[in-house]
Amino acid sequence: MPLLQTLRDDLDVLEAQHLIRRRRTVETPCAPNVRADGKDYVAFCSNDYLGLAAHPLVTQALQKGVSLYGAGSGASHLISGHSRAHANLEQKLAEFMAPNIDQARALYFCTGYMANQAVITALAGKDAAVFSEELNHASLIDGVRLSRAATQVFAHRDYAALEAMLKNCTSKKRIVVTDSVFSMDGNIADIPALLALCEQYDAWLIVDDAHGFGVLGEHGRGVLEHFNLRSPNLVYMGTLGKAAGVGGAFVAAHETVIEWLIQKARAYIFTTAAAPALAHALLTSIDIIAGEEGQQRRAHLNKLIHMFRHGQDLKVWQGMPSDTAIQPVVIGKNDAMLAVAGNLLDQGYWVGAIRPPTVPLDTARLRVTLSAAHTEVQVLQLVQAINRLDQMHYVAQCFAEV
């Protein structure tokens, strides 16, 4: 069939470019020690930054949620799917974020991807001007595209370029969109600088804190607490499938913004509400994040980050300047990176292997993610495994072949 043949040809092109992605099937809970496709690994590739995905209190709460509310919500939020568990979670998140958001209200979404689409399309429209950071996550980019707003992309952390764009902007509806922690580089946007510009030029600042919520800030309130920010221009998106260990996402903003999203955000309105049990489990996750245990877990994670970067010399590859749990090691060519990641797998370490289009051409990289569930010994052993590749002149060989 010609249609199928076209797809097969396109898949062959991807294969030739070393861009075919393969899934490994995980047979154990998300934790540093996992079994996948029948083999045991120490995994450094999940976003379970605080180790809550398999935390006994969280999994017990999930089971309790099922016994209280059943398996599924059965409908969208605006019909009959909005359960007591969703309402409780939104209330808890609003109270949690209140120190950093004026008249805070929160809205729970099935995924961060949908939350980003929802918030951008609801706030922007054809008459809006959107200013989008070059390294933004795909879900922000897709939201911007879907909004059909006039869009300008500003270079990574180039806030002078953004200011020039804002100065020339004639639209009254201005929206700046940025990741907080860049998901493939691990560095942090200068949110105070962005917010100052947004206040000066009367623009919304949508912050995607997928990799900051729960991890940054003394109490885990993410990048807003990290920089001690509060402003009516802020619209905050935090995901709940990463540090919070469960799934879904939330937007926290002034109550008027949230009311607007409930009325207008299509990715909120036209989908079945997430299982209430997930929201019930998240009540426990937020308690842990906000409490003493959360502080201890963040302190341990920060110690591991410091160890990975400075404890032992990571040879050959200088990582990127990241102080977060995301530690990229840029290799360059796709096949070289796959060879390196494959060798680490053979040594028993599962590390994220990231290729274009997720990252720019010729910047394929290992994406090491650290978690409070890792031990110091595991992190030191990973560094040694990477250094062993260096001793084998592995990288030189890989580059010689391309």
Binding residue numbers for pyridoxal 5'-phosphate = 112-113, 183, 211, 239
Catalytic annotation, pick one of 55, 86, 226, 242: 242
Alpha carbons within 13 angstroms on the beta-carbon side of residue 18 total 18
Nearer to ligand PMP, 165 or 181 (CB): 181
Query: Closest approach of Cβ 183 to ligand PMP, in Å?
Result: 4
Shortest reach from residue 389's CB to ligand PMP, in Å:
27
Our answer to whether residue 67 is catalytic in this structure is no
> 315 catalytic, yes or no?
no
Query: In angstroms, what is the minimal distance from the CB of 113 to ligand PMP?
Result: 4
Interatomic CA distance for residues 189 and 178, integer angstroms: 8
- 211 noted as active-site residue: yes
CB 195 within 8 A of CB 189: no
Instruction: Give counts: helices (H), strands (E), the chain.
Output: 15, 12
Give the HSE-up count for residue 182: Cα atoms under 13 Å, Cβ half-sphere: 20
User: Least distance from C-beta 116 to ligand PMP, angstroms?
Assistant: 6
Distance in angstroms (rounded) separating the CA atoms of residues 153 and 399: 33
**Is 47 or 83 the residue whose CB approaches ligand PMP more closely?**
47
The residue whose two tokens read 């409930």 is 262
Residue 180 vs 233, nearer CB to ligand PMP: 180
> In the structure encoding, which two tokens stand for residue 380, read together?
């030191």
Phi, psi of 246 (to 5 degrees): -120, -85
For 315: left if phi > 0, alpha if psi spans -120 to 50, otherwise beta; the answer is beta
Residues in the annotated binding site: 21, 112-113, 137, 183, 211, 239, 358
Nearer to ligand PMP, 240 or 314 (CB): 240
Question: How near is the Cβ of 139 to ligand PMP at its closest, in Å?
Answer: 5
Output phi, psi for 144, to 5 deg. -65, -45
| Peptide bond connecting 357 to the previous residue in cis, omega within 30 degrees of 0 | yes
Backbone phi, psi, residue 88, to 5°? -60, -40
Rounded CA gap, 22 and 82, in Å?
36
Q: How far is the CB of 51 from ligand PMP (least distance, A)?
A: 18
To ligand PMP, the closest distance from the beta carbon of 401 in angstroms equals: 31
Nearer to ligand PMP, 113 or 317 (CB): 113
Give binding residues for substrate as ranges: 21, 137, 358
Which one is catalytic: 86, 92, 211, 333? Answer: 211
The answer to whether residues 330 and 299 touch, using CB atoms and an 8 Å cutoff, is no
Beta carbon nearer to ligand PMP, 205 or 339: 205
Catalytic residue among 132, 180, 183, 371: 183
Distance of CA 343 to the CA centre of its chain: 27
Nearer to ligand PMP, 144 or 210 (CB): 210
Helix (H, G, I), strand (E, B) or coil at 105: strand
Residue 314, token pair as written in the block: 């990571």
Tally the residues of the chain.
402
With CB atoms as reference, the residue minimizing the distance to ligand PMP is: 112
Contact 366, 353 (CB under 8 A): yes
Give me the residues that bind ligand PMP (CB under 6 A), please.
111-113, 116, 137, 139, 179, 183, 208, 210, 239, 241, 249
Q: How far apart are the first and last CA of the chain?
A: 35
Rounded Cα distance between 97 and 107, Å, is 12
Report CA Rg, the chain: 22
Q: How far apart are CA 393 and CA 22, in angstroms?
A: 27
Active-site positions?
183, 211, 242
